Amino acid sequence: MHNCPRILITRPKAQSQNLSRLIAQQGGQAVLFPVIEIQAVAEAEAELNQLNRQLTDYYGLIFTSANAVQYSVAQLVLPASLQRAVIGQSTANALQQHGYVTTICPPQFNSEALLAMPALSTERVRQQRIALIKGQGGRELLAETLRQRGAALTEIAVYRRCLPQSPVLPKPPFAAVIVTSVESLHHLFALFSPADGLAHTPLVVISQRVANSIVGVSSPIWVADQANDQGLLNALLAGLG
């Protein structure tokens, strides 16, 4: 990177430290501006307690994110026989911090790759009890496909993503903006006005799915070659030349 470009990172602060370090190592300046605030879903506590009493009857437990682990696993005692599936290495790391080893982690960090794993095939999950621990909203592909495959699915939303209250907006311009979810993108444009110039600022996105959701902007869109911090950095470096 040349001239210490300012890169806006829209992730929650706790999930931005490694990416900020990678950007700094390349001569850039990371500007942290979380556009999503994570809050626990109070109603989930009773659901998790009920699930915990029944876990010995379950085939598998799927965590969709590190936040899903953070807001649930302390209330659960996972049997050794339970399949523990995650989407992404950061989620596996979060599970490991609580003393549990992941048994299903796809090579690509998305729902499609997870569903392609043999342990979640129709033959394996038909008539099996599976719990999906997730955030409110988001994609329905995992739940819909597992039900189509005959699984007896329990869904528990343990956190919600909210628009931050009265955030202090960092001053543009930025060389690029890093966005890691469709919801983050919507929040970003809700917080910044068109006059702030973000409609023309390059966007670095974590997947083609997020890129496909972008409408009404004239800015370049740079897609990560893998859904992790290194992939985001690769796209940023390639885009900035």
- For the chain, the first-to-last Cα distance in angstroms comes to 8
**Which residue, chain included where needed, has tokens 């919801």?**
183
Q: State pLDDT tens for residues 90-149.
A: 899 999 999 999 999 998 888 999 999 999 999 999 999 999 999 998 789 999 999 999
User: What's at 126, amino acid-wise?
Assistant: R
CATH fold for domain 39-161: Rossmann fold (3.40.50)
User: What's at 57, amino acid-wise?
Assistant: D
Comparing 89 with 149, the larger pLDDT belongs to 149
Q: Can you give the residue ranges of every domain in the chain?
A: 6-36+163-240, 39-161
**pTM for this entry:** 0.79
4: which 2 tokens? 């210490």
DSSP code string of 43-93: THHHHHHHHHHHGGG-SEEEE-SHHHHHTTGGG----TTSEEEESSHHHHH
Q: Does residue 164 register a pLDDT over 90? A: no
Helices (H), the chain: 17-25, 44-54, 66-70, 89-97, 111-115, 122-125, 141-148, 182-191, 208-212, 229-240
What is the CA 115 to chain-centroid distance, rounded?
A: 17
Q: Does residue 199 register a pLDDT over 80? A: no
Fold agreement between 6-36+163-240 and 39-161: yes
**Which residue, chain included where needed, has tokens 């960090």?**
109
Please give the Cα distance from 185 to 181 (Å, whole number): 6
CATH fold for domain 6-36+163-240: Rossmann fold (3.40.50)
